Amino acid sequence: MSDSLLHNRWRRRRLLGAATAGGLAALGGHSGGRIAGAAPDARSEERATMSNDPLPSWNHGATKQAILDFVAAVTKDGGDRFVPIADRIATFDNDGTLWVEQPNYTQGFFAFDQIKTMAADHPEWKTEQPYAAILASDQQAMSKFTEHDLAAIIAATHFGMTTDQFDVDAKAWLETAKHPKFDQRFVECVYQPQLELLDYLRANAFQTFIVSGGGIDFLRNFAEETYGIPPSQVVGSSGQVTFKMQNGTPVLIKEAKIGSIDDKDGKPVNIHLHIGQKPILAFGNSDGDQQMLEYTDAGDRPRLMLLVHHDDAAREFAYDRTSSVGKLDTAWNEAVKRNWTVVSMKDDWARIFPFST
């Protein structure tokens, strides 16, 4: 009850009826992705289901079929691959899996922009590196930032304020900031096929979690509106937070100390801490997701592991084994070895973004 009502809060404007079809199927007790209905232009083996296709932005083929078959199997009451609702846990990486991560992580753009926003209160930044390079938009200097420079930028923009103040800053930025290539707000640069998949899974009583290397406080400022994923189902990297009374009111202060890096080994560790159950479906796109998929694959239940391969330079970006952002190398080898599903953005996705056609 509460979950379906909860999702009523999230009135996403971009899901062209797929959500409704899935939702009705779930309410009517349908177990999978096959929903009877008129399908005037159907020609594939999905003939009877086309008009109510829960994944209209996925091209027909082995990948889409693997997803449909998996969901049908685990929701078929009495079937030999049935999974009880309480165990239908799905985890999604965010950067490069649910939204664009090139030419840089969105949270990186946020940090750089925040330096500019905060500069008025920091006149010393005009001459102090690494801030000066950002304020001068010195691309060459910025491309040479060291780990130490980046840590200083994150510290200045993410720590030392209350969690409430950070939320105000993040929301204000997300409201307007645009992606340099697509000239759309970052929160619009999300993958339409994945929005449909999230909805399809929830319509089949999955709980959908984000398990991202991005900051948990940053993610929670858009995850519910953008993906329909409430704060308690967002797992991410975190800094340490302290509780403090400020003029008689309790506040939480974001300290400049690492809490947990939710990447690689950190993903199964945080899945255990936050969710407390192994997922039966895990979706990533880079080596940072390898351990999450290995952990999922070690479960006793039927399970599905997927990786997005960014091979579509025309519609998005093409990068894999040598990319500094979203490197897909060892996880790809592992996928081949273990028969994980590799999703070709170019071949498997009919449409990339809500704003594209």
Any contact of residue 273 with a copy of itself (CB under 8 A)? yes
Q: Nearest to residue 263, comparing CAs of 211, 306, 311?
A: 211
> Exactly one of 143, 176, 247, 249 binds a copy of itself (CB under 8 A); which one?
249
Q: Applying CB under 8 A, which part among 64-72, 172-180, 246-254, 323-331 lies near a copy of itself? A: 246-254
Question: Considering only 122-130, 151-159, 216-224, 320-328, which stretch makes contact with a copy of itself by CB under 8 A?
Answer: 216-224
Distance CA 204, CA 12 (A): 18
Alpha-carbon distance of 223 to 216, in angstroms, equals 10
Task: Compute the least distance from the CB of residue 239 to a copy of itself, in Å.
Answer: 10
The yes or no reply on residue 294 touching a copy of itself (CB under 8 A) is yes
Q: Are 212 and 101 in contact (CB under 8 A)?
A: no
Greatest extent of the chain over all pairs of C-alpha atoms, in Å: 69
| Residue of 257, 259, 333, 356 that binds a copy of itself (CB under 8 A) | 259
* Residue among 220 and 309 whose Cβ is closer to a copy of itself: 220
Q: At which residue do the structure tokens 């994944």 appear?
A: 55
Minimum CB distance to a copy of itself smaller for 23 or for 354: 23
- 291 Cβ neighbours under 8 A, 6+ residues apart: 264, 265, 267, 268
Q: How far is the CB of 232 from a copy of itself (least distance, A)?
A: 5
Q: What is the closest distance, in whole angstroms, from the C-beta atom of residue 250 to a copy of itself in the complex?
A: 5
CA dist., res. 200 & res. 205, Å (int): 9
* Strand order from edge to edge, sheet including 207-215: 249-260, 234-246, 207-215, 89-92, 281-284, 304-309, 341-344
Q: Please report whether residue 20 would count as binding a copy of itself according to CB under 8 A.
A: no
Applying CB under 8 A, which of residues 252, 318, 325, 350 lies at the interface with a copy of itself?
252
Assess 265 for contact with a copy of itself (CB under 8 A): yes
Q: Are 68 and 33 in contact (CB under 8 A)?
A: yes
Interface with a copy of itself by CB under 8 A: which range of 99-107, 176-184, 191-199, 274-282? 274-282
First to last CA, the chain: 35
Among residues 94, 106, 233, 285, the one that binds a copy of itself under rule CB under 8 A: 233
Q: Is 225 in the site for a copy of itself (CB under 8 A)?
A: no
Q: Is the dihedral of CA 236, 57, 102, 356 positive or negative?
A: negative
Q: Kindly state whether residue 220 participates in binding a copy of itself, applying the rule CB under 8 A.
A: yes
Choosing from 165, 242, 330, 356, the residue that interacts with a copy of itself (CB under 8 A) is 242
Decide if residue 127 touches a copy of itself (CB under 8 A). no
Q: Is 163 in the site for a copy of itself (CB under 8 A)?
A: yes
User: Which residues, including other chains, have CB under 8 Å from residue 328's CB and lie 6 or more apart?
Assistant: 285, 286, 287, 307, 309, 310, 319, 320, 321
- Comparing CB distances to a copy of itself, the nearer of 189 and 331 is 331
CB of 3 to a copy of itself, least distance (A): 4
Q: How far is the C-alpha of 344 from the C-alpha of 71, rounded, in Å?
A: 20
Is-contact 290 299, C-beta < 8 A? no
> Rounded CA gap, 109 and 117, in Å?
12
Residues of this chain that bind a copy of itself (CB under 8 A):
1-6, 8-9, 26-27, 84-86, 88-89, 163, 202, 205-207, 209, 216, 220, 224, 230-234, 238, 241-243, 245, 249-250, 252, 259, 265, 268-269, 272-277, 291, 294-295, 298
